[in-house]
Each structure stands twice: as C-alpha cells, then as structure tokens.
Structure 1
Amino acid sequence: MDHTFHLHHHQGKLTVILVVSLSLDVSVFFLTVPSEDARHSSVPPAHEVDAEFHGTGKNLFCNYHTGLNAQPCDANGHFLPPSTPPLPLTEQLPDDWSPFRNCTEFETAEFLYSRAQMSAPNINTLLDLWAASLLKHGDMPPFADHKDLYKTIDNIPIGGVNWQSFKIQYSGEKPDILSRIPNTNHYSFLNTHVPSWMSQQFDVWYRNPREVARNILANPDYVNDFDYRPFHEYSVSKEEHHYQDFMSGDWAWKQVDILATDPDTLGATFVPIILGSDKTMVSVGTGNNEYYPLYLSIGNVHNNVRRAHRDALCLVGFLAIPKTTNEHKETEEFCDFRRQIFHSSLAKILETFKKPMSKPEVARFGDGHYRRVLYGLGPYIADYEEQVLLTSIVRNWCPRCLAPRGKLDDDEALCRCEAHREALFKEDTSDVLRRDFGIVGSIVPFTNDFPRADIHQLIAPDILHQIIKGCFKDHLVTWVEKYLHHVHGKREAERRMDDINRRLAAATPFTGLRRFPQGRGFKQWTGDDSKALMKIYLPAIEGHVPTDVIRTFRAFLEFCYLVRRNVIMEDTISQIEDALRRFHHYCSIFLWLGVVPTFSLPRQHSMKHYPDLICLFGAPNGLCSSMMENKHIKAVKQPWRWSNRYNALGQMLVTNQRLDKIAALRVDFAKCGMLNGTCLSDASAALAIELSIPNVQDLIGRFLFEQLHPRDPRDHATIPLHSFPIYDGKISVVNSASSRFYAPSDLSGIGGMRREHIRSCPNWRNAHTRYDCMFINAQPDLEGMRGLQIAHALCFFSFKYKFVLYKCAIVHWFDVIGDTPDEDTGMWVVQPSFDGHSLNILVIHIDTIYHAAHLLPHYGVDFIPRAINFSNSLDKFRAFYVNKFTDHHAFEIAF
C-alpha cells in the first residue's frame, strides 16, 4: 500500500512529491507538512549550577547546568526518589544464548559474518569440512549452511531498526513545446522534450533515527563515557575554561537555557542529535557505484567513543543522488531540484524527532534508569561542498558568515543566522540575495521545520576536509610546486620536485607513520596520506623555498596540532589564534610572488571560525568527517563487496541490519557476563640468541655498576673498567619494545590509550635495517626537550644478574645543538654524539625510555644523492630535526 503526499516550497517555486513505500515489516506512517515558523525565541540564560570536583591526574572544577538535571524516572515518566537504584538491565538467564543454542554458535556466527566477512559459498565449504570432521563422532557443526546462519542472525530480537523507504519526485511545472500538427496549419503543446529527471522517481532509504538514537542511549557500553547534562569545566583556580567533549561547549548549555524556561521540561535530559553525510564511491568501474549515506550520533557520548569503532556513529539512511544528461545538469531548475530533494529528504527522515523536541518522551539509558528525554538538532558534519548544499548558499561563499566570496578574509563580516535570512527573503529579490549575500533564495534549509535549529550555527568544524585535505594538500603543497615552476622554470622545478620526493622517501621509519617510497607523485590521495605527509613535509622543502614559506608551514602545522588536541584550554585557543595570525602573515609571500591570485578560499577561510567553534562544540576531533570516512568502509564499501552487485543497495541494507543485530547481542551477552574467557588471548614469543656486539661486556658492566650503585657521586666514565661487574651469561635479544601510554589527542584506543612499538631490527620486512630513535627521560624536573635526550636504539635485550631481570637497550646518543628550537621550523636540532672518535654508545634501562622519537635529516640546500634512502639516512647526515609533528604526543613533549 502506498501513500502519496506533497511538500510545497513556501515561495511556490518548487514542489516535491514523496511517495512512501512500506518494507521490511514497517508499519504505515503519515507525512505532515510542518509550519514555516517553528522556532523558539531566545531567553535569558539560567545561572543556577551544580559544582563538582573531578578529573584525571589533576582536579578540575565543573559547573553542571541544573535547568535539565536528567532526573531518573519510571517507565511512565514519574520521577523517582533520590538514590533509587535502577532496574536490572536484563532479565536474561546466564545460559540463554537465544536465538543461538550456545556460545559456540554465537561466536561462530560473529566470526564468519562480522569479522571474517566470509562469502556464502565459502561458509558452505567450511561447514561441509567441519561436518566431515565431526561425522565419526556423530556430531554436527553449528549451522547446516549459510542460509541457516543468516536465518539465525535475522532472528536476533534486538539491535536492528527496520529499513523503510519513500520515493521523491519533481511535481512542478514542466516545459511545453509548441509543435505543428502534420498536414495542417494547427499547433499543439507537447511534452516530448521534458528532461527525464522531471518525471523520474528517486528512492530514499532510511530507518527511524529516533529509534537509532534510543539504542545509543540504552547501550551499557557507554555508561562511563556519557554526559547527562551540559557543563563548564575549569581548572581548580577557575581561571581557565577547558573544552573537551561535546557537552562541555557553550552550544549545549545555551540550548538548555532555552528549554529550562518551560515547566514541562524540568528534570529531563537534553540529547543533541549530531548528523553527517558524505558521498562515497565503492568502485571506479562502470555503473552507478556512488552512494550517499547519512549518519547519526548523539552529543552525550564522549568524543573518544564517537571516534572509536564502538557503534556510537550509526548509519540511518541512503539519500538520493539525482542524475541527468549533460544538457540539463547545469540548469538552474535541476540544481534547485537537487538542493530541494536533499532538504526535503532530511526533513522527512528526521520528522520523528519533532514532537520530543518540545515534549519529553521516556527512554531507557545504559545505566538501567529511565529518563525523560528532549532532543535537539545539533552540529552537522560535512565537507565544504556539502555545507554549500546544507546552507543553500552560492559556492565560494562562507556558510557561517557574510564575508563576500572575493573578500573572505574580511574581519568585519557578521555571522549568518536564520532570522537575518528570513528578513532578506521579505525585502530582496532572488537576484539580490544571490549577488549581495550569496544566498540561493529558492531553497529553505531543512532546519526550518524544527525548533531551535539554525543551520548556519550548526555547521561543524571539519578538520579532515577543511584543514588537512583542503588547506594543506590542495592549497599549500600545490602552491609550493607552483612556486618552483614560477621561479625556476619547468625543468629546474621538476628537478627540485624530484629532490623533495627523494627527501620524503628518505624519511626514517616511525611506528604508525606512512612512508612515501616514491615521494608524493601518486594520484589517489586519501586522508591518511595527507596526514602522513604533514608530518615529514616541512624539512623536505627547506632549501628549495624562501624562509617565509617554511614559517607558513610551521604556523599551519602548529594550528593543526593544536585544534586536534583532545582537551583544549583557553590558553590553547590563544595559541591557535596566534598560529593563525602567523599563518596569514607569512603565507602572503605566495601572493607577493604571484603564485596565487587570491587567498579568498572557503576552506582556508574556515580556519578563522575554529576558536568560536571550539567554544561552542568542544574539541573538534569529536566532530571530524574522518569518522564518516572510517564508517564508509564498514557500512557501505564492505557490504557492497559482499553483494552480487545487482541491485546492491537492498543487500547492503540487510547486511547492515545483521551487523547491528550481532553487535547488539554481543553487548547483551557481555553485560550478563556470558562472554568472559571465551576468546583466545594473544600469544607472543621472543627469540633468545647470543648477542654479538664489540665491547658489549664493558657496556653491560658499566650498566650494572650504575644499577647497583645509583648514588655513587663519581663520574662513571672515569671509573676503571676492572671496577665494573663482569657478566658473561645468556642474553635474550628482541627486535622491538612496546609501551602503552595515555594519548587522548591521537586517534587512540578506548579511553585514549595507545600502544607504541620502538623497533631495533637488522632485517626489517626482509628488506632493510630499522633502528628507531627514542626520547630518554634524563632530567624529569625540566620541561620539554631540556629534560630529554635523543637516543638511537641499536638493540633491545634482557638478562638476569643475581636473580634480578634487567630489560635494557644499547643506544647511540645524539647531542642537542643550541639552547632553543630552530627559529624557522620550530623544531629542535640534534647531531650524533661521539666519545673521542667513536660513537657514544651506552646500555640503558628501558624504564628510562619516555617515547619514540622521529628524526628528519637537516637537508640544507644541497641535493641529496640517490643512494640515500629511509634505511640509511640516520647514518648519512650530520644534523637532524626532532620532528614534533609526527604525532600529538611528540608535539606535547618536544618543545
């Protein structure tokens, strides 16, 4: 049964028909047309707060907003007395594996479908082999075939939100063609030349986003990473504001200020809805292999949860991608239709949120309590092209402010807002709106249908597309190449680009750092490629470009690393603004030299808004489109590869629903303690061999003397060798050392923990040697590089002496050059250390190792020989930069 409804633009210029199709056991629903003005006016802020001290490692002072205090209630919405315990999260018996018969069945299904992603024929083959092996025992495998496996997964009663669809179609005026009737003098109007897109129906698939949000609220995995109320966080002295997770920002606080004026909302929980969309290609072959996924999260979960693969960012829809012929794709009618179909689709998908945005509904949370919930449309994550579509502006204008597209660096530009937009609609024609304000007047953003929503204020910062891919790769790196061609001519410029590529290829290895064996001369760039290039690019161009270009890159990189921090303080915002000022000052050299005609570039201009956006939404790393890029793989690309490629979308929807069911059931089993000890732990082994290094006994003897006599005041270098202990026992050598440390600003694991390997390997991947460098904690009472030393790891080993196990490393030291970092690059410079004419080598305890260090050669102005590569560059240069841009942890300590 189909229901046809109509949505009409309020200016009458475009009409869109939505034909609702029922599928996947979805009940009938009705589409209502919202009023044009559904907003609430602003009210004075509430000042009443709750105070609490908390924090990790140091005390922080929090002011919690009391307007909506997230008070627990029962299933009917009646508030509970204080300290009432929650109801049990589940009534499930500890041996109830339904719909599976036992743990083995569940883990087999999870492994084959979610982890191994095995195809149906391969599943059948494996189960047949399994059955053959059990035949002599009279037993059978967990499943008969892939159909049995899929049927069992589909019977999981939790986790899946059914998919449904509607059709959307143009219903405006169609062009009529005046045509002569053959053999007569009469004419008639025909529609034979109507563009195909005007009569075509486009499918939009989605699942109820409110049910998806309720599933996130009810997930017990997020209990310890969840904020029930907006808060402002300060240092104990209350002198510095800290911005971290989304609810620590000012936007959520101001939203609750508005909601708290209604007596019916008191005691409720505010749940901001975070949206994001981004087109993605699943292949570069023929056919329509482009998809338009829509994602949803909530602002209450912490940033690290949203960034990690913990299902806090969920797929809720596939938007339509209208296509037409080359003849019509640039016409104003088709462009307006493409914009309107986007906004009408979002309004339709999100309509279930509208009622509980003003009147609370009851939902269960992961801690077991019920609470009354009020939703609100929060930030929208999108790249610039998507932001243009979202805000209905003309390309090359800013979606957040009114700076003219030719003068985006105008500091006097006012912020855009919906009230100003509506006022302009009443006063000016569409031509004036487009020319003077960059507004596409025929389209109204979808937020017009929802209370307290202004799309211009909800545009989120996008570090990946705006900063890393946009400003760095598309602008600065490209400008360097243009500069070389502009100054040196084509042939010399290409020779210098080849040298820069060889420098990039010669960068020493580092854990987690992507290598560029052919330089940057490849076509298919990813976000990870751009992030990796940022870490090693600065020293590679030194000597080929002016000092102001080097300082431009330094300021830009410092801006990037500051805005990507997990916790941003007011002092950090001042540093961000300083880096931004230096960037704009030094990058003007590209304009003076005629390399670029203008700096009025929207992605570069977006950097100016970051200080304000941090105050509104917290640390930008929790709202970056890189999360959607990662989600594309699991939600779009892998399901497409599993499909038979014919009408693939329907198969992809089923795959996503099954994955969600398995993930939800795992959470359900885990909270019942049913999966403890069911997985095999990782196993590791070390190869013990005799160490063969000249003078190793002397080095170990000196090390043992230092361990046994830590307070001996003498200079150990002057103590005779015969005074040292003698060790001639067995030595176990390993090729790497690993450590775990807290690094929340990096894309780390759960809780901000990161595992790092430092390698000392004579045969790395059967091709080259690899000996990493390290920061050594020399003087803990001094900050930054003044308390650290740089060492080159030559060997990791362990041995026992008098029943004590010593874990050590043989290192070659580097000496710091100068008392301050290099003025141009902002990085410290070191050189190999010598003891007379020999390398300064010692044995140290691995407890003194602080962090892996990355050194980049100080290339200077000379071209490097072709024989130098990444495996030998540490032995070929006289000086090196200590790369503070290699990761966030190095940026924090190498200052």
Structure 2
Amino acid sequence: MPPRRSFRPRNLICPVSGCNKLLSAQSGLSQHLNAAHRRPSPPAPSSMLLPLSPTVPSHEDFPLHQEPTSEDESQPQPSQKDSQSNFCTVCHPILNGRPCDAQGNFLSAGEPPVPASPRSDNSFSPFEDREQFEVTNFLFQRSQMPAGQIDFLMQLLASKYGDPILDNADHMKALIDDISNGDIPWQSFAGQYSGVIPESNPPPWMAREYEVFFRCPHQVGQNMLGNPDFANEMDFAPKRVYSQQGEREYQDFMLGSWAWNQANIIAQDEATHGSMFCPFILGSDKTTISVATGQNEYYPLYMSLGVIHNSTRRSHRNSVALIGFLAIPKTDRQYQNDPAFRKFRRQLFHSSLTHILQSLRSGMTVPEVIKCADGHYRRVVFGLGPYIADYPEQALLACIVQGWCPRCTAHPSNLDEGGISRSREHTRLLMDALDTKALWDNYGAIGDIMPFTVNFPRADIHELLSPDLLHQVIKETFKDHLVTWVEEYLVLKHGKTRAAVIMADIDRRIALAPAFPGLRRFPEGRGFKQWTGDDSKALMKVYLSAIAGHVPSGIVRTFSAFLDFCYLIRRDVIDEHTLSTIDDALARFHRERVVFIDENVRPEGFSLPRQHALVHYRRLIILFGAPNGLCSLITESKHIKAVKELYCCSSKHNALSQMLVTNQRLDKLAAFRVELAARGMLDGPLPGLLTHFPLSPPPPQLAIPTTKGSLPTDDNDDEGAIDGDQVEAEVVLARNPKTLAHTLGHPTLSELIRRFLYDLIHPQADTPGSDVDISPCPDAPPRIIVYPSAIATYYAPSDWSGSSGMRHERIRSVPSWRGEPKRQDCVYVNADSSVPGFSGLHAARVLLFFAFKHAGVTLPCTLVTWFSPVSNTPCQDTGMWIVEPDADQAGQRIKGVVHVDTIVRGAHLLPVFGDEFVSHTLEHTDSLDAFRAFYVNKYADHHAHEIAS
C-alpha cells in the first residue's frame, strides 16, 4: 500500500484559483481570512478559452482557386472570446457573415445595427396590460389549465373582485390568436398511391389519402434566426478553434469541418461572398401515446438551426421547433409485407420531406437578406444540415436495407470489416450499372427510390446522418447488448437457477449505491419491464461495480472501456487529445468484448449495425462537432412538450387538429414574450401579490457566498442547471443554520478546530497542527453554527447545465433524510491543482458543516473523515480508483477540519463487493459504513469522469 497522503490543511489548494489558501504566518490571520473569501474573476474554462497560438493556422483545405476579393474577406474574423487571449478562433475568410443593411449592402466594420422601426405604441396589445398577458401566459403555457377550470376560476374571481382579468377560456384563446408575432399557420397536403391500381379487389391502402401537416420551415427558421434571445448564442460564420498547442477543438456545430467545407463550396459563387451560411438541422421519430383505449401514433418532424450553440439546443428555449406531422400509412396484416406497400411508404416519406422543405430551396443558392438575433441584417445562404434519427429511421432516410450501414458499404454479415463510404454519386453509379436485386444483395441499396436530399443542392443524406447517442450507445450497445450478454453469460456458466441467484445479488448491489445528487436509485435493482433512456443512463453509473466479482475480469474491462468511450463522446468540448483517447477506448472495447465470443455468448460475432456505428463517431465529431448537440435525446425530450402534453390537453377526439392549434398558440405566446422582453416591458416585478410570486420564474439563486449572493429558495433541490458567471468550483454553506454546543456527537471537534486554526496561522511550520502539542493552538470558538448542507457550484458543460455551462449540487450532512437514517455525503477535496485527475484530489466524507468566528472573520468549515487510495493507479479492470477509510490504531476513522473553499464538489463512492454476496438486511444508507473499500465512481456524471479519472 502506498504511503498515506498528508491531510494538513495548509497543503490544500484553492479549487478556484489554484493558489495556496493558507498564507504565511507573517501575513497574519486576518489577511488570510479576507483572502479566503475573495472570489477571483471567472476563469476561462478550458473548453472555451485557450491561449492564442503564436501563429494563425493556415487554410490548407480551402479549395478555391481564386484569391479573396477584398481585405475584409481575406482576414480571419476574431471571436469576442479572443480578448481572453487563451485560444485562437479563425472564421471562414469568405462566408464570414458580414453585417449589411436591409437592402443587402455591407456595412463598414464596427458600424452598429440599423435600428428597428419603432412600434407605433408601447402597449401590450392585444392584451390590456402586463397583468392580463402574464395571467394568460401562466394559465395557457405554464400550468396548461383546462378550459373548464379556467372558466370556474374566472367566475370565482368575479364573484369576489368584480370583473376578472379574463372573461373565460375562450376570451383567453381569442387574445392569443390576435398575437401577430410568430404566427406561422399550419398547412396540409394529401399523399396517395399513384401506381397502377388493380381493377378487382384493390388493397384498401391504395385508395386512401394520407394527410401531412406542416408549417413553412423558411418562416420558422427566419423567426428563429432573428430571435434576440439567441443574440449571444449563435455563430454567424463557420469557425475553427485552436488551443495554445495548436490543437483543433470541436464543440458547437459551426466549429466542425462540415460547415467549413460547405462554405468553401458556396464561396465558389462570388455573389455569395460575405454571406452567412445557415444550415437547417432536422429530426424525426415516431412516438406513441398510450392511453386506456389503445395507442395513438404520431410522426413529428422537428427543425433547428446549426448556427445556434449546442447548449441552447439541448435546453430547447424555442431553438427546436415542430414543423410537421408526417403520415403513417397503415394496412391490415394481409398487405403489411407487400413490396408495393413498403415502396409506397418510403415514397410518401421522401416526397413529404421534399414538399415541406421546398421553401428553402431558392435560398440555398441565392442569398436572402434576413435580420439576425444581434440586430444586424445579413445575407443568408441556407443548407440542409444533419438529420437526427435512430437506426430504423436512418435506414429509411438513406434508402438502404435493414442490417446494412447507412454510411458505408460494409456487409451486414461482417460489419467490422468496414467498406467504402456511401455517397449520392456512388449510389447513382451503382443504380446505372446494376439491377435492383444486385443492388439489394451486394450493396444493401434500395434501387427504385432516391433519398429526398437529391432534390436539394449540396445535400447528401449519407453524410448528413448525425450520431445517435441515445439509441446507438445508451439504449442499444449498453442496455440491449452488454447488459443482456451478462445475463446470458451467467445462465451459460451457472445454469438458470444459480444465475437467478447471482442476478438477484447484482440487483441488491445496485440498490446499495449511496445517495448522490442526480443519481436515480434502483431500490429493486434493474428488474423492471419498461426501460427509458433515463433508466439506461442511470444504470450506467452504478452497474460496473455491481457485476465486478460475479463475472470474469474480461467482461468488467469490456464495460469499463465502453463506458469510457461513452462518457468521452458525450463531452461538451472534444479536442484532438480527446479524439485520441476516444480511439483508445474504442480499441480497448473491441479488444475486450471478444470475451463474449470466448464464453460462447456471441459465437456469431458482433456484426451489429448500432455497435458498428461507433467506428464512425470520430469522423462525425470532426464534421459536426460534439455529438451531444445533435443527439436524439433532444427530439425525444421535445416529444413531451410538442406532442404528449398537447395530446393530454386535447379532448382526445380529432386530437391532432387541436394539437396543431395549441402548438401555434404556444409559439405565438413565446414570440410575444421575447418581443416584450426586448422592449423592456417585462422588467421588474408586478405590483402587489405578484412581487412575491412572480409569474415568470427567475433563475435559481442557490448559494450564500460570504461577500455576495442570495438565500436559496428550496432546500430540497439536490442538483440542477444554473445560469451565471463561470467559476471552476465554489462551495458555500446553505441556509437554516443552528447554533449548537461543541459536543454534537463529536467530542474531538473542539480539539480539531484548534489544530485547524494552528495550521491557518502557521502554514510554514515544520510540524503540522495534527502533531503539535495542543497548548500552542488557538482557543476554540465559544459557539459554532451548524448547517445541514452546502451548495457546490461548478463548471460542467457536458452535464445538464445552464447556458454558461454552470450547474449546482447540494452536499448534505444531516442526522436523518426523508424518513431514512443519517445522510453524510462524500466530497472531493483539492490536494494539488497542478496534478490532473484524482491524483490531485482527496476523497472525504462530510460529518458536519459548520461556521465560527475567529479574529472577527467567519470561517465556513466542514468536519470530515478521510479516505486514501489503496494503490498509486486505478483498478486495472474497472478503471476506477479504489480507496479505503483512514483509521487509527484503535480502528476509529480519522477526522479532520477543512475550509469549505478546499472542497471541489460532491463525490460518489461505491462499495467494492468482491465475490461475496451482500446481506439482505443492508440498506443503501449503510453502505459507506459497512464496507472496507470503495470505488471512486467516475461514472457518476460527466464532470466526475473528467476530474476523477
């Protein structure tokens, strides 16, 4: 076992600034105390601000033969972030999104936007006043109150106060309908079979009309492009970001190579020079709404803009719009496998997309002058960007046979061998040379239909299919493949009876995972029938430690390699070093998964389209940026707001027509709110009651910094996204303090506080406070204030976070929690910020959050017990560090007092179970006390994976 780490407080480094928090003895205690509560200016996160390269990278792949025609076009346009001098941003030299006036004439550099025409009045028309608008927005959008309940509420208000704000639900809806903002009407067209219909007994599906509803994507995109909410969350030109070391970084969509390459092609037309390239991102996926009377299927089509940042798209904020409902042709079982019916379904799908997107076609070659979110007009060139879809949808889009890869021609019998890349040109050549049967058998191509993208410039569906983290990685490879294979291995190895016993123990191990903010618990293990993507993501966090000891080390290493790959590709920013690490993780996964062949679980090998798709991720990251901005998680979550909630609000009779109207009204309310906010008409609270209960929820204020901040509003929030300044890490004590005596169940607390103060005052002393005689240590404070929790705020853009990448979590230390015994969470304590990963951190368990005054300054502290690693490297099988509690000769756990500024954030420790079966009497609240060793769970979330590897 390696020597224990030193836990002297003077060795702890500030997690924000990286400097030693404990100043020299000569500087005086008060100087330290002041410094301990000073917050530095927000640091530049490595994912956003990197040092400038000494030289600007060249545009070696720019294919134009002609020279740029003006100085403005030839010079890279620096980003505003360059002012931080931490990275180099190079904008496309020709399609650089230069501002212009409403007639398309370019403005001089630095010239302000052309002011918008002032509104004739400063009213809330069609609403009488702000109160009426806010009440309408609250009832219709936020609470989604049924019409009957609105009528009853208005009657109650009228009986007490006279005339209510609204007459009834019909009055409310009429006001919304009168809003002109965002008013894009729904249209429809009918699709019908156009082939030869048999004269006798034709199939019923041939005579039916299939109605498709849509809204003009050109108008939707124009409104989205001009939304002032996105003024600071758009890239108006393709960009390249380079670190100080000259490495390329991939984050938002416009930072990928695809947008740059498209700009190169567009720039061959001199009439487009200085324009802005705006790709449309599409997504479609069937969704089923189950009700007591049966199932209702809908086929929504979504749209977003590639110029919008990934974080904004993931948080929606009106950056993902519903633009259509595609038809779902159905027939009885007699004709389900009829080749003519299957061909018609494909033709209807592609012809519908072509018809819906037709309004964009002219703008793909000739620039259109459009007002953008920052107030400037720009000449905009549209394009079809990535398409978000799961594998069956990708096969439909690419017009390939199920089982083949939509991106390459690898044969489905051995996908691992790979194949040449598919393309529109390659498919046309094959169709000219081969008949439909040869195309089907040898290339998996459907020869009698072409994808809808052939009708649009510069669009190749084989290139535009986005990576699908939810289905390809989380649901399929992890849950449907690896987890299933573990169960099959146990059955093959031990027989059904013994395997059931082992799987039951795995379930108990999963249930014993200690509580952690944002961690979904599985009280009964993972044995439930209907899985969701959230269930699979939650299981990924705790599954590895549960199977270790019950399966061979090769299977454990397979999971470890796959989880590393999964967490790496889901990062918000991916640089070239991360790409290399992704390659290594994928190579390890392919090497280790052979254990399933050796154990006869997969004797046929791994020719699985969704697992094969992983080999394309590196190229797709380079083309499209970080995959988390194009994942089907975005469209799946949009289903809830755009389809499922609206269906529940309908009468269920002819529900789609009602859903279309409701969706249009919601868009109009959202657009009108944006305009009112831009005009400053929503500033400040409403008078009276609404001062205390605002109708528009403010961003959460969750912490109490010593020098600034506000009280948290809800002590039950464990974690979540927040907006605000960027800091690497900050921990502050929560509200509801209690003044208690020194005992508190910790008889040594007074002595530990005195030794903590000694180290504060004597940071350069040769002997730490833990080893000196107690007599020279300062006196303990006469009183302390105890807090039930602390709030950690940190920069974690790869997780669910605010637009600035910030999130918070609550770290608890309470004697009981929601009817359960004590909850004492674990934390990471910064040991040496110059050392990357867990090597520069300590793991500790919080016994008490408290604060006291010394020399007139309040010191927020925490009482902890320590853990030390059992080795100098992580576990070879799981890839996680293993720690054990520090104990004295009597077996008592070693305690210490540290300043809260040294805490980075919460940590999650999972028991090392070994090959023993766990007791049925253990509860998850016992785990941190009942076991001798623990894994430092780097899979608790993406931020933990980055700092604890």
Query: In 2, are the aligned partners of 1:339 and 1:389 still within 8 Å (CA)?
Result: yes
Deviations 1:797-817 (A, max 9, x none): 223344322222121111111
Deviations 1:129-172 (A, max 9, x none): 3223324xxxx331111111111112111023111111111121
Aligned to 1:39: none
Indicate if the aligned counterparts of 1:508 and 1:855 stay in contact, CA closer than 8 A.
yes
State how far apart, in whole Å, the 2-side matches of 1:445 and 1:166 are. Answer: 20
Map of 2:220 onto structure 1: 212
Distance 1:173 1:106 in 2: 56
Aligned partners of 1:45 and 1:257 also within 8 Å: no
Instruction: Find out whether 1:492 has 2:519 as its counterpart.
Output: no
Does the 8 Å contact 1:51/1:64 carry over to 2? yes
Map of 1:452 onto structure 2? 458
**Which residue of structure 2 aligns with residue 311 of structure 1?**
318
- Counterpart residue identity of residue 795, structure 1: L
1:129 and 2:156 matched: yes
Work out whether 1:163 is the aligned partner of 2:186: yes
Supply the AA of the counterpart residue of 1:843: V
Query: Equivalences for 1:8-87 in 2 at 5 Å?
Result: 44=64, 50=76, 52=78, 54=81, 59-87=86-114
2:600 corresponds in structure 1 to 594
- Following TM superposition, by how much is the alpha carbon of 1:272 offset from its aligned partner in structure 2, in angstroms? 0.6
1:790 partnered with 2:796: no
Q: Which residue of 1 aligns with 2:22?
A: none
The aligned runs of 1:838-877 (5 Å cut-off) are: 838-877=892-931
Offset of residue 45 of structure 1: 7.6
Q: For residue 747 of structure 1, what is the aligned residue in structure 2?
A: 800
2:101/2:114 contact within 8 Å kept: no
CA RMSD of aligned residues (A): 1.9
Q: Deviations over 1:382-414 (max 9, x none)?
A: 000100110110001000000001110014x10
Confirm or deny that 1:694 pairs with 2:743.
no
Normalised by the length of structure 1, the TM-score is 0.90
- Secondary structure at 1:380 match in 2: strand
- More deviation, 703-712/580-589: 703-712
Asked if 1:630 corresponds to 2:637, the answer is yes
Q: 4+ residue runs of structure 1 moved beyond 6 angstroms? A: none
Deviations 1:85-135 (A, max 9, x none): 112346248952222222211221111111111111222222223223324
Question: What code does the residue aligned with 1:434 have?
Answer: W
Aligned with residue 585 of structure 1, among 583, 591, 594: 591
Structure number with the higher strand fraction is: 1
Contact kept, 8 Å, 1:94 with 1:673, in 2: the verdict is no
Deviates more, 1:689-698 or 1:557-566: 689-698
Paired letter, 2:211: D
Structure 1 residue 272 corresponds to structure 2 residue 272:
no
Instruction: Give per-residue Cα distances to partners, 1:535-575, cap 9 Å, x unaligned.
Output: 11111101111111111111101101111111111111111
Determine helix, strand or coil for the equivalent of 1:799. Answer: strand
Deviates more, 1:483-492 or 1:674-683: 674-683
| Compared CA separation, residues 522 and 58, structure 1 to 2 (3 A) | farther
Residue matched to 1:175: 198
CA separation in 2, counterparts of 1:708 and 1:122? Answer: 65
Q: Deviations over 1:593-642 (max 9, x none)?
A: 21122200000000000011011111111100001111111111111110
Which residue of the other structure, out of 152, 156, 163, is the alignment partner of 2:175?
A: 152
Contact 2:77 2:93 in 1 (8 A): no
164 and 51 in structure 1: CA distance in 2 versus 1, 3 angstrom threshold = closer
Residue identity in the other structure for 2:498:
E
Q: Structure 1 residues 828 and 444 mapped into 2: Cα distance closer, same or farther (>3 Å)?
A: same
Residue 67 of structure 1 and its aligned partner are, at CA, apart by: 2.1
Pair 1:829 & 2:882 matched: yes
Which 5+ residue runs of structure 1 have no aligned equivalent? 1-41, 177-190
Q: Which has the higher contact order (CA 8 A, sep 6+)?
A: 2
Letter in 2 for 1:144: D
Q: Which residue of 1 aligns with 2:58?
A: none
Distance 2:855 2:245 in 1: 50
* CA separation of 1:109 and 1:45: change in aligned 2, threshold 3 A: farther
Distance 1:316 1:501 in 2: 43
* Residue aligning to 1:88: 115
Distance 1:526 1:45 in 2: 52
2 CA distance for matches of 1:592 and 1:829? 29
TM-superposition CA deviations, 1:157-205 (whole Å, max 9, x none):
10231111111111211234xxxxxxxxxxxxxx2x3221111111111
Q: Which position in structure 1 is the counterpart of 2:932?
A: 878
Q: Determine helix, strand or coil for the equivalent of 2:740.
A: coil
* Counterpart position of 2:46: none
Structure 1 residue 223 corresponds to structure 2 residue 231: yes
**Selected match of 1:433 from 421, 436, 439:** 439
Amino acid at match of 1:643: S
Render the CA deviation track for 1:736-791: whole Å, top value 9, x for unaligned: 21122111111211121111111112221223432211000122232222221101
Letter in 1 for 2:948: A
Task: Report the counterpart of residue 650 of structure 2 in structure 1.
Answer: 643
Shift of 1:839: 1.4
Q: Does the CA-based 8 Å contact 1:46-1:67 persist in structure 2? A: no
Name the counterpart of 1:539.
545
Moved more, 827-836 or 69-78: 69-78
- 8 Å Cα contact 2:472-2:610 kept in structure 1: yes
Determine if the alignment matches structure 1 residue 111 to structure 2 residue 119: no
Residues 436 and 446 of structure 2 are in contact (CA less than 8 Å); yes or no, is this contact kept in structure 1?
A: yes
**Which residue of 1 is the match for residue 37 of structure 2?**
none
Instruction: Answer whether contact 2:77 2:96 (CA < 8 A) is retained.
Output: no
TM-score (norm 2): 0.85
- 1:442 maps to 448
2:203 corresponds to: 195
Q: What secondary structure is seen at the aligned counterpart in 2 of 1:520? A: coil
Matched, 1:506 2:558: no
The aligned residue for residue 800 of structure 1 is 853
Q: Displacement of 1:323 after TM fit?
A: 0.9
**Whole-angstrom CA distance in 2 between matches of 1:528 and 1:100:** 41
Q: Deviations over 1:4-38 (max 9, x none)?
A: xxxxxxxxxxxxxxxxxxxxxxxxxxxxxxxxxxx
1:820 aligns with 2:873: yes
Q: Is the 8 A contact 1:206 1:317 kept in 2?
A: yes
In structure 2, distance between residues paired with 1:571 and 1:811:
36
> Of 387, 391, 395, which residue of structure 1 is paired with 2:398?
391
Among the aligned pairs, what percent are the same residue? 49
Change over 3 Å in CA distance of 1:93–1:796 after alignment to 2:
farther
Flag the 1:69–1:718 CA change in 2: closer, same or farther, 3 A: closer
| Residue in structure 2 matched with residue 8 of structure 1 by the alignment | none
Partners in 1 of 2:565 and 2:482 — Cα distance?
Answer: 14
**Partner residue in 2 for 1:36:** none
Question: Counterpart of 2:829 in 1: which secondary structure?
Answer: strand
Q: Which residue of 2 aligns with 1:667?
A: 674
Q: 1:132 to 1:797 in 2, by over 3 A?
A: farther
